Chains A and B, each alone.
Chain A
Amino acid sequence: AQKITQTQPGMFVQEKEAVTLDCTYDTSDPSYGLFWYKQPSSGEMIFLIYQGSYDQQNATEGRYSLNFQKARKSANLVISASQLGDSAMYFCAMREKSTGRRALTFGSGTRLQVQP
């Protein structure tokens, strides 16, 4: 079974508008972390935001916020005031802490295109 599901292969958004990228996850581990990474066309993976399973508040980092709905097992990334430079692939990832697995499990990604 897919551990991380990103159902939107591609998304378009107008510059200056907000956009939500969907991510659902599947785990029975009560202790886990959720990550979002951005991958521009140059290829490097850029860490954006992190949410721990026990964190009470939704994580925010500048224009990025994570809409964490634990009961629904969703961790959507919200980008406010989109910029042309936000055009990239976005990956949701999870680390299950109790298993001892140190690697991340990634979703298939969403390609975001910001239009002027």
Chain B
Amino acid sequence: DVKVTQSSRYLVKRTGEKVFLECVQDMDHENMFWYRQDPGLGLRLIYFSYDVKMKEKGDIPEGYSVSREKKERFSLILESASTNQTSMYLCASSSPGGQGSTYEQYFGPGTRLTVT
């Protein structure tokens, strides 16, 4: 079974702190994603990586950066946390796909971040 793990289930940080959210997958997937989930808005893509050191901005990248130094690990960084970044953060991974692939994404358990 694919396993995607996230470093923390719950995190409380202060405004202005630098925050690292870590995600690790064990299926040798090329693609990794960071989403943010807010009530009534569903999941929104923050950043995406399709290979080591390769990244693309998603729909809401402002205030975030990412790092992918190893294939299995994808980190989300909040350079200076703000209260409007209080949210649920979900990491996902998927294979590059191919003919007949569904490009199904496998998700981690999520990190609920509170910024005070």
Contacts and interface: CB of A to CB of B under 8 A. Distances in A.
Contact of B102 (A37, A43, A50, A91): A50
B90 A45 contact: yes
A109 B40 CA distance: 7
Interface residues of A, number: 25
B43 interface: yes
A104 B40 CA distance: 17
Contacts of B35: 106
Interface stretch (B20-28, B65-73, B75-83, B106-114): B106-114
A108 B41 contact: yes
A47 interface: yes
Interface of B: 9, 31, 33, 35, 40-45, 48, 50, 58, 88, 90, 92, 94, 102-110, 112
